[in-house]
Structure 1
Amino acid sequence: MPDLSKMKKPDVKVVLLGDMNVGKTSLLHRYMERKFKDTVSTVGGAFFLKQWGPYNISIWDTAGREQFHGLGSMYCRGAAAVILTYDVTNWQSLAEIEERFLSLTDTANHDCIYALVGNKADLTDPKVHLSQDADGQTKDPTGGDEERTEPQVLSAVPTPPASPTSFSGLVLHKQVTRDDALSLYERILRYKGLDEKSSLPADKMCFETSAKTGYNVDVLFETLFDLVLPSILRKRHENRESPTVDLEDSGGVGSKRARSSCC
């Protein structure tokens, strides 16, 4: 958690939503700290402040557990972008987005941008073991010096537990296809009352990522930051047009005289 005494005021808010164990916290750590960390379930919510050029973006991580569900709408209030996250090896995690989490975004900005993100892609695709930078270049996180064997493919396995490390070297069955994600994104647009023709296309806003290898993580966040830039500029313009009045500065000698002369 940032030091509040030194924290700059954020220009815009981005929120991650999704069921527990889909990897929301790991995605955020991968992007902000450039490394993968095995994390415990988030309690309530947490956030990072990202300096992006001259702008400050707060990125909020929310708890997926049922007992913290009511907090989600509070964290989404005023959000300029929401990252709806699921696990590509767990069909139910995709269904939960529509059943539990989509309604929480009703408190977001009316022009909020939605990204649909399938995490843990490294468990279903051997190619995702190559991480990807923001510029789209791929690299081998192991350095590429050691000989690698092809992972064993399982035709079908149950939904994996929270930690993928026990399945190291295995490729799991992919339960959520890209077509499934594209269809859900279109339903999200209809739920929000957005015109599909004038909205961002589904194929540009549906991502598959791996917090473990870094695959597509930079691409996800940098794409959203580019898209929320108009919201940042509009907010700054509105603040210049309607500056905040400092009551302490305006409560000087003149105001005391006004109060003393009042009948």
Structure 2
Amino acid sequence: MRGAVPDRARRPDVKLVLLGDMNVGKTSLLHRYMDKRFYHTISTVGGAFYLKQWGPYNISIWDTAGREQFHGLGSMYCRGATAVILTYDVTNRQSLAELEERFLSLTDTANDDCIYAVVGNKTDLTEPIAVRENYEVGCPIHTPNYACQLNSSASPTSCSPVAEREVQKEDAVALYQRILRHKAVDEHLSPPAERMCFETSAKTGANVDALFETLFDMVLPSILRKRSESKASSTIDLEDYGPVTSKPIKGGCC
């Protein structure tokens, strides 16, 4: 767990949870957004808690373990969630299937009006990457394709993708529509699939800020409603802080 339970002045207004199989990059996405850096991390053990101050509001973000032995903790972490990010690896079709087969049921403890985003990570692996050793050092504007653009003699092999894409955007859209049916939500009253299906790269940062900022904007009505209701009561709901543990939960990410 990152840091101690916040004091009352920083009580979370809403909870956002990341779910997905191991090695899809959940923690890397969170580090990219929170720290603006990419880390090579290890699999999360149990879960990890982050508190994001977004303007005058406080949003708790729970990063969960994808390993099957920690699967039982998932519904506990999802309890009271206002938004859930279901994450898969665009180069691994099974990671998309796992969202529906293993992780969707965990969200039954989330709020009735919970928002769901389906996120395909690791898009950088499907993009052409050149042999960059001669260009990266000292190049302040380097991008993954910069060397390929500069080196007109680069061979097709040197610019080939690292991995083949196994999941298309329409696959994620279809899953999102099945999620709405599973939750018995009227599709016409929900955000459109095109808005709730993202493709990101934690490594390059592509679309990561857009993902989190979009969700934060969408949960704002829940924040305002909850703050209004809390004015009538001074009771602290421990569920806002997630599971209670006597020891910090350490984790990196898959």
Q: TM-score range by the shorter chain?
A: 0.7 to 0.9
Contact (CA 8 Å) 2:127, 2:161: kept in 1 or not?
Answer: no
The residue identity in structure 2 corresponding to 1:90 is N
How far apart are residue 47 of structure 1 and its match?
Answer: 1.2
Is structure 2 residue 140 aligned with structure 1 residue 149?
no
Structure 1 residues 96 and 5: CA distance shift in structure 2, 3 A: closer
Are the counterparts in 2 of residues 189 and 196 from structure 1 also a CA contact under 8 Å?
yes
* Aligned with residue 183 of structure 2, among 171, 192, 200: 192
**Counterpart in 2 of 1:73?**
75
Residues 11 and 235, structure 1, Cα contact 8 Å, conserved in 2: yes
**CA deviations over 1:160-200 (Å, ceiling 9, x no partner):** xxxxxxx9973421100011011000000000110011110
Q: Return the match for 2:224 from 233, 240, 254.
A: 233
Residue 3 of structure 1 deviates from its aligned partner by: 3.2
Alpha-carbon distance in 1 for matches of 2:19, 2:86? 5
Instruction: Give TM-score, length-normalised by structure 2.
Output: 0.81
Write the deviation string for residues 129-180 of structure 1: whole angstroms up to 9, x where unpaired.
xxxxxxxxxxxxx6326851269778xxxxxxxxxxxx99734211000110
Q: Deviations over 1:196-252 (max 9, x none)?
A: 11110000000000000000000000000000001101111111133339xxxxxxx
Please state how far the C-alpha of 1:19 moved relative to its aligned partner. Answer: 0.2
Could you tell me how far apart the structure 2 residues matched to 1:79 and 1:241 are? 22
The one-letter amino acid paired with 1:231 is S
Q: 1:67-105: per-residue Cα shift (whole Å, max 9, x none)?
A: 000000000000000000000000000000000000000
Contact 1:120 1:212 in 2 (8 A): yes
For 1:223, the equivalent position in structure 2 comes to 214
SS in 2 for 1:170: coil
Q: TM-score when scaled to structure 1?
A: 0.78
CA distance in 2, matches of 1:61, 1:116: 15
Distance 2:207 2:160 in 1: 20
Is the contact between residue 152 and residue 170 of structure 1 (CA under 8 Å) also seen in structure 2?
Answer: no
Q: In structure 2, what residue type is equivalent to 1:51?
A: Q
| 1:29 corresponding residue in structure 2 | 31
The equivalent of 2:44 in structure 1 is 42
Provide, for residues 26-49 of structure 1, a one-character-per-residue CA deviation record: whole Å limited to 9, x for no partner.
000000011000000000000110
Residues 24-173 of structure 1: pairs in structure 2 closer than 5 A: 24-126=26-128, 143-144=140-141, 148-149=147-148, 170-173=161-164
Which residue identity lines up with residue 229 of structure 2 in the other structure?
Answer: E
User: Any unmatched runs of 5+ in structure 1?
Assistant: 128-141, 155-166, 246-263
Who is 2:4 aligned against? Answer: 3
Pairs aligned (count) = 219
1:212 aligns with 2:203: yes
> Residue type of the partner of 1:209?
T
Aligned sequence identity (%): 68
Maintained 8 Å contact 1:152/1:171? no
Taking only aligned residues, the RMSD between alpha carbons, in angstroms, comes to 2.3
Higher relative contact order (CA 8 A, sep 6+): 2
Distance 2:98 2:178 in 1: 14
In 2: Cα distance, 1:100 partner to 1:153 partner: 39
- Contact 1:153/1:172 (8 A) holds in 2: no
Q: Report SS of the residue matched to 1:220.
A: helix
